[in-house]
């Protein structure tokens, strides 16, 4: 045992005095001092090393891999073997100096700059202004289609054109004066990490808003049941036989209570529109589709609740005039609704932001995966289409629309009565009934009236014309040639209700409540608009007067000029010529001589002919005529 200890001491001797430079006091920042003190405590611990390391991570705000790296460097300084406990150097007089040395080496004041190009300036061709290389690279990199390699190649091409100078003598820079491509890449990478505006300029608007912009995080348990409903519709991933016997897909329009995840109402259709939205909302308010599982069967639940707020998708069918009239969002022009009070506050999600109604979007996906055993399931992606779909279509196993709708009703009620961990092991229906504190209701006749559509028509001959169809009544005789408000149920066009001069009481609107959101959506939109304005100004300053076209052309020029030059010596090289002999050299020479001789004879004859040619006299002309 003693021999083993002696050998270890010889193999790993502890240096009595370390040759370390003294760190100046101004460089010992509060952050370095905090880490040094925390590391000294960690080194002195001999028991429960795991808990001490976790405490060290919390105090120094460093990750475990970084702390492990510091421990390795510390053992190397004191010449310790790997995995040697650091407690052996806890009493070393130079421990604090070694820690200060390690932590100060990791801190650089110019870490976010391009230190190797501080004296270089680029001459902008369009403006003639000299800007630092850092600003030039930033101006190029803050374009969506330009990467770090393009920036380096553009900088290289500017150097080849002698448009980069070295301060303060303003001498022309050469390629050796430029920073390396990896250095430029690391600099631009740090620049994008530190600049919110740089990320905004390099990303698509939608990607930047979804990944970088702030948004409201809801505390679901802070809501009361029926305080907020979410509304949306989606196309179901099932093939169903329609009324004509052809395979088709059903759409579901649904409303969910955000507090309890209870699907309060839904409507199945072949194509969603504002009518299906109103039908799903009516089912949710009246509670006609909710069933409670009592152990052996489903029983009707007496729930009739009117939500205080409804947040819906931003599609055109949700923003239609009819949908807004149903929820009391707009001022009604017809006099028949002026006395009906506003029933709920309507809010719209941001376009292309599914996280605004994440609970309902998640339900659409998980619910369909739960019932994917239904014949005709086609998957949520064309690459994930199951092989059983073709078999179901050939064999006719897919369900009819009646059977499918009945099965969907059972499946949705099964979901509402299924235990959820997010609800503290309660079902959505149990959570709704347990946490409900107040119940807002509306008369069914008033609700049916709100579901109606209204159009202005003129009464003629005791009848009105609606959708190219005449509606007749003898009681309209006294209202001939008068304007009227015609109300009709979009799901049943057999009867219409006609009101003249506002004889029927209707809904009134509160203008002061339009567009307000207690959860902070309006504030987020205002802050985002203001932030984007500031960001545009920052991006404009970063571009340093270089237009987007010039930046693209510079990047393209740098890429095209990235060629390997040919040396002058190689161009002057004249290798020895080689003559290939075939045995026909003498014959070809005789043929060439004969051709040249014939060519010369032809030229001689042509010259003689031209010399003998002379203008004809009048006597010669008369002789020829005779």
Q: With helix as H, strand as E and coil as C, how does 353-392 read?
A: CHHHHHHHHHHHHHHHHHCCCCCCECCCCHHHCCCHHHHH
CA gap 397, 528 in Å, rounded: 52
Euclidean distance between CA atoms 231 and 324, whole angstroms: 13
Please name which of 339, 343, 215 lies closest in space to residue 281, comparing C-alpha atoms. Answer: 343
Q: How many Cβ atoms from other residues are within 10 Å of residue 126's Cβ?
A: 10
Residue 117 tokens read as: 């190009």
Using CB atoms within 10 A of its CB, is residue 426 exposed (0-12), middle (13-18) or buried (19+)?
middle
Q: For Cα atoms 324, 325, 330, give the angle at the middle one, nearest 5 degrees.
A: 70
Handedness of CA 546, 551, 555, 560 (dihedral sign): negative
Q: Which of 257-271, 384-398, 610-624 holds the top average pLDDT?
A: 257-271
400 neighbors 186 (Cβ within 8 angstroms): no
Question: Whole-number mean pLDDT of the chain?
Answer: 78
How many of the other CB atoms lie within 10 Å of CB of 13?
11
pLDDT given for residue 505 in this prediction = 32
Q: How far is CA 36 from the centre of its chain?
A: 42
How confident is the model at residue 251, as a pLDDT? Answer: 93
Kindly indicate the confidence band of residue 511, based on its pLDDT and cuts at 50, 70 and 90.
very low
User: 404-458: per-residue pLDDT in tens?
Assistant: 999 999 999 889 998 888 888 889 988 888 888 777 777 776 677 777 777 777 8
> What pLDDT sits at residue 301?
84
CATH 3.40.50.620 fits 220-314+349-435, yes or no: no
DSSP assignment letter at 173: P
The span from the CA of 427 to the CA of 521, in Å, is 30
Q: How far apart are alpha carbons 525 and 215 in whole angstroms? A: 9
Q: Which of 56, 63, 22 is nearest to 37 (CA)?
A: 56
Where residue 15 falls among pLDDT bands split at 50, 70, 90?
low
Query: Encoding tokens for residue 269?
Result: 């259709």
Q: Give all strands (DSSP E) within 144-262, no chain letters.
A: 164-166, 171-172, 228-241, 247-257
Ramachandran angles phi, psi of 405, nearest 5°? -65, -40
Q: What is the DSSP string of 404-457?
A: HHHHHHHHHHHHHTS-BGGGTSB-HHHHHHHH--------HHHHHHHHSEEEEE
Can you give the pLDDT at residue 255?
Answer: 93
- Six token digits for residue 1: 């045992």
Instruction: Report residue 457: phi and psi, to 5°.
Output: -140, 160
Cα-based angle 386, 388, 394 (whole degrees, multiple of 5): 130
Residue 567: predicted pLDDT? 78
CA distances from residue 311 to 17, 342, 408, 456 in whole angstroms, order as listed? 70, 16, 24, 30
pLDDT of residue 586: 80
Decide: 267 and 280 in contact? Cβ < 8 Å: yes
337: pLDDT confidence band, cut at 50, 70 and 90?
very low
**Higher pLDDT pick, 533 / 527:** 533
pLDDT tens per residue across span 32-62: 888 888 888 888 887 778 888 888 888 888 8
Nearest one of 390, 391, 392 to 375, comparing CA atoms = 392
3-state secondary structure of 296: coil
């Amino acid at each position: 045992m003693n021999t083993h200890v002696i050998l270890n001491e010889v193999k790993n001797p502890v240096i009595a005095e370390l040759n370390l430079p003294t760190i100046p006091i101004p460089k010992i920042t509060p952050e370095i001092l905090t880490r040094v003190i925390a590391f000294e405590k960690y080194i002195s611990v001999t028991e429960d090393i795991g808990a001490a390391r976790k405490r060290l991570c919390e105090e120094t705000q460093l990750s475990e891999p970084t702390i492990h790296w510091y421990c390795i460097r510390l053992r190397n300084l004191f010449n310790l073997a790997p995995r040697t406990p650091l407690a052996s150097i806890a009493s070393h007089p130079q421990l604090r100096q070694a820690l200060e040395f390690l932590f100060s080496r990791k801190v650089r004041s110019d870490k976010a700059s391009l230190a190797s190009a501080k004296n270089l300036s680029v001459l902008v061709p369009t403006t003639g202004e000299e800007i630092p290389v850092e600003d030039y690279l930033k101006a190029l990199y803050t374009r969506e289609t330009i990467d770090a390699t393009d920036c380096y190649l553009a900088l290289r091409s500017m150097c080849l054109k002698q448009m980069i100078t070295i301060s303060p003598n303003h001498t022309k820079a050469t390629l050796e004066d430029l920073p390396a491509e990896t250095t430029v890449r690391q600099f631009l990478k740090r620049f994008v990490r530190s600049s919110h505006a740089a990320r905004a300029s390099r990303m698509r608007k939608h990607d930047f808003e979804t990944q970088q912009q702030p948004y409201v995080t809801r505390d679901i348990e802070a809501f009361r049941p029926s305080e907020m409903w979410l509304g949306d519709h989606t196309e179901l991933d099932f093939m169903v036989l329609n009324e004509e016997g052809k395979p088709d897909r059903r759409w579901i329009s649904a409303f969910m209570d955000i507090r309890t995840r209870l699907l309060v109402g839904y409507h199945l259709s072949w194509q969603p529109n504002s009518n299906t939205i109103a039908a799903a909302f009516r089912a949710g308010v009246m509670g006609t589709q909710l069933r409670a599982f009592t152990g052996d069967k489903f029983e009707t639940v007496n729930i009739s609740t009117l939500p205080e707020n409804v947040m819906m998708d931003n599609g055109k069918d949700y923003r239609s005039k009819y949908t807004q009239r149903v929820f009391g969002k707009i001022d009604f022009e017809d006099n028949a609704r002026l006395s009906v009070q506003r029933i709920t506050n309507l809010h719209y999600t941001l376009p292309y932001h599914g996280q605004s109604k994440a609970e309902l979007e998640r339900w659409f996906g998980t619910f369909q995966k739960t019932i994917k055993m239904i014949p005709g399931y086609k998957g949520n992606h064309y690459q994930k289409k199951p092989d059983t779909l073709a078999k179901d279509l050939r064999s006719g196993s897919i369900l009819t629309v009646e059977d499918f709708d009945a099965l969907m009703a059972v499946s949705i009620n099964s979901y509402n009565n299924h235990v959820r961990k997010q609800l503290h092991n309660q079902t959505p229906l149990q959570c709704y009934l347990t946490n409900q504190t107040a119940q807002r209701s509306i008369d069914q006749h008033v609700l049916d009236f709100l579901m109606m559509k209204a159009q202005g028509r003129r009464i003629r001959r005791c009848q009105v014309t609606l959708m190219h169809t005449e509606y007749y009544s003898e009681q309209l005789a006294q209202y001939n040639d008068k304007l009227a408000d015609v109300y009709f149920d979009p799901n049943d066009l057999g009867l219409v209700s006609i009101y003249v001069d506002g004889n029927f009481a209707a809904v009134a609107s509160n203008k002061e409540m339009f567009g307000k959101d207690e959860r902070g959506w309006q504030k987020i939109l205002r802050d985002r608009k203001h932030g984007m304005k500031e960001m545009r100004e920052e991006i404009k300053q970063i571009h340093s007067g270089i237009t987007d076209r010039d930046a693209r052309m510079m990047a393209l020029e740098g890429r095209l000029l990235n060629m390997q030059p040919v040396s002058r010596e190689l161009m002057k090289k004249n290798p020895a010529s080689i003559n290939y002999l075939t045995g026909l050299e003498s014959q070809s020479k005789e043929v060439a001589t004969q051709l040249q001789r014939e060519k010369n004879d032809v030229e001689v004859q042509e010259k003689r002919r031209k010399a003998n040619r002379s203008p004809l006299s009048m006597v010669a002309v008369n002789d020829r005529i005779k």
